[in-house]
Every structure is written in structure tokens, then in C-alpha cells.
Structure 1
Amino acid sequence: MARSEIDYGGMMHRAMQGLIAGVLRDVASQGLPGEHHFFITFDTRDEGVEMADWLHERYPEEMTIVIQHWFDNLTVDDQGFTITLNFGNSPEPLRIPFDSLRTFVDPSVEFGLRFETQEHDEDDEEDDDGSDAVEEPEAPKGSGEVVSLDKWRK
């Protein structure tokens, strides 16, 4: 079946997931260089997310993790990554699929990405004034612009 258009949005989405996978693979093998650190927000309801029940109860929809001073067991595959983080002196393993990512920010170099969800994409209509309705997420203090992939979608 012939396709009716090129899915630039989907292609960009997969490319940005690949970029994050590459960054995390480098960190897994060589550690975090300099002042780099990451704020990663993900949807805890997504299929494939694995986390302790008490964390899921505390973050039933969305969670932001920080990869900075202490982390362990960071492994990356084509679908996502696993990492052990410290929550109040309690090391907890997490499994985070790339499809569950909502934002990825490295404030040390003012870099950020925002991933739109399919639900949000369907609801994204133009405002009465004709401008695209794109709500930028709240970025950590000192961070630069967060790039929304929907900025270029029609």
C-alpha cells in the first residue's frame, strides 16, 4: 500500500530517541563528563515501565529522574534503558522504555528535547488566532530552550 505522506514527525521522534540512546550508552561505558547531568521525565503508565510498587504509587502518571552524582547498573538497549537510582538511601532499579520518555534535559549545556504523546498529538488543534498550540514544559532552573518536535508538524 502506498503511503500518502512522509511521517517526518515519527522519523524525528525515532531519531531523537536514538540520540538519547547514544548519549546514555556513552555514559554507561565512560561515566558523566564534566558538569553534565540529565533530567528525564517519563510516563509511568506506559507499557514496559518497571519500577517498585511504592514508587509507582507515589508517581502514578509521570516521574522525573535525575542522573547526576550516583547511579548504578545503567544499561541501554534498542527499546529503552535500565538504571538503579537512590531514593532516600534506598537503591531502586528502574526500566524506562524510550517510548515512555516525555522530556530529556541536560541543563549543563542548555540542551533539551520534548516528546509529544500520540494522545496529545490528536488533541493538538490550532488556536483561534491560527498559531500552533504548543505548551512548553517547565524546564529546570538554568536550562535552555526545550525543543518541541511538534513545532515543525502540520
Structure 2
Amino acid sequence: MDYSQMVEDALKGVVRSAMQKASTDGLQGNHHFYVTFLTRYEGVELPDHLLERYPNDITIVLQHQYWDMEVNEDAFEVSLSFNKLPTRIRVPYDAITSFADPSVQFGLQFQPQGMEATEGGNLVLSNADDNAPDAAPDTPSDPVEEEEKQGEVVSLDAFRNKT
């Protein structure tokens, strides 16, 4: 049994549930989400100008300026403002590398399927693929993401078999 994968799938269910609640009820109080995901992961839909600016990963903030969020079993879609331009994106949960709600000091980190962590903590593809990133760089600096991440992050590496 692959318990680490079962745990990761369950925790992605937490992300899905949080997104579903936000899509139906809105984000109440100070709740807001930081979602970091791999921009070239299969199923991610981003405009070309964002892929050029963020070729490996991006962190989006869901707080005040997001619209029309749709939450599905395998992905969420949302409209955001990038440089004052409304943009629709699609993010599969498997592309997410971290999720945080700093208002309650909650965070999760994920290792996307098909990716492995190196000793330095970077992610690399398990199977070579020229269309995917070879490492996840630092989070890009963007006006949308200027607020510093806070909170406790739960890493699944503590539960993984190290053999």
C-alpha cells in the first residue's frame, strides 16, 4: 500500500474542500489563499504571457480580486487580475506545490506526481519531459504576491519512506 500517496490525495481533498467553500460562500473574514503551482504541469491553462514570465511556477493569491471560481474533482478554474487584465486560469490539484491560508496559519506542501525532490529541495521530473520544468525556482515577485507567506507548513516528506 502506498500510504504516502493516500495521505497526499487526502490533503489535496482539503484544498479542494477549501476551494469549494470559497467558491460557494466567498472568503469570510481575513481568510485568503496562497496557491503555488507548476505552470507547465499537464492540464494547467495559463495565457502565453504568464508562461513566459513564470516558466516554472507561480503563486497566486485568492483574496479580493478573483471571480467565477469553479471547483471540479481534479482542478479549479478562476478569473484573476494580472496587471489589471482579467485572466482565466485552470489549475489541476496535482500541479499544486503549496497551499496556505495565512489568516489561520495553515499550510500544506505537495510533491506533484511525476516529480521528485532533490537534496536541495528542488523538484525535478522523474521522467524526462522537455515541456515541463526541470526545477521549481523561488516564488516570483509580483504585485499580486507581495504579502509575505506566513503560517505552519506541513510537509509530507516526514511521512515518506526514505529508503
- State TM-score, norm by structure 2: 0.78
Q: Counterpart of 1:145 in structure 2: which amino acid?
A: E
Other-structure match for 2:152: 145
The structure with the largest alpha-carbon Rg is 1
Alignment of 1:18-29 (within 5 A): 18-29=13-24
Alignment of 1:88-107 (within 5 A): 88-107=83-102
Alignment RMSD: 1.9
CA distance in 1, matches of 2:22, 2:86: 19
Count of aligned residue pairs for this structure pair? 136
Other-structure match for 2:31: 36
CA distance in 1, matches of 2:20, 2:149: 25
- Kept in 2: contact 1:116–1:148 (CA 8 A): no
Q: Deviations over 1:1-48 (max 9, x none)?
A: xxxxx2111001110111111111111011001000011000011000
Equivalent of 1:113 in 108, 123, 148: 108
Deviation at 1:142, TM superposition (A): 6.2
Deviation at 1:70, TM superposition (A): 1.2
Gaps of 5+ in 2: 121-137, 140-146
Q: Deviations over 1:71-128 (max 9, x none)?
A: 001001111100000011100000000000000011000000000234325x469xxx
Alignment of 1:44-59 (within 5 A): 44-59=39-54
CA distance in 1, matches of 2:61, 2:38: 15
CA distance in 1, matches of 2:119, 2:5: 16
Other-structure match for 1:77: 72
Gaps of 5+ in 1: 1-5, 126-136
Taking only the aligned residue pairs, the percentage that are identical comes to: 40
Runs ≥4 residues deviating over 4 A: none
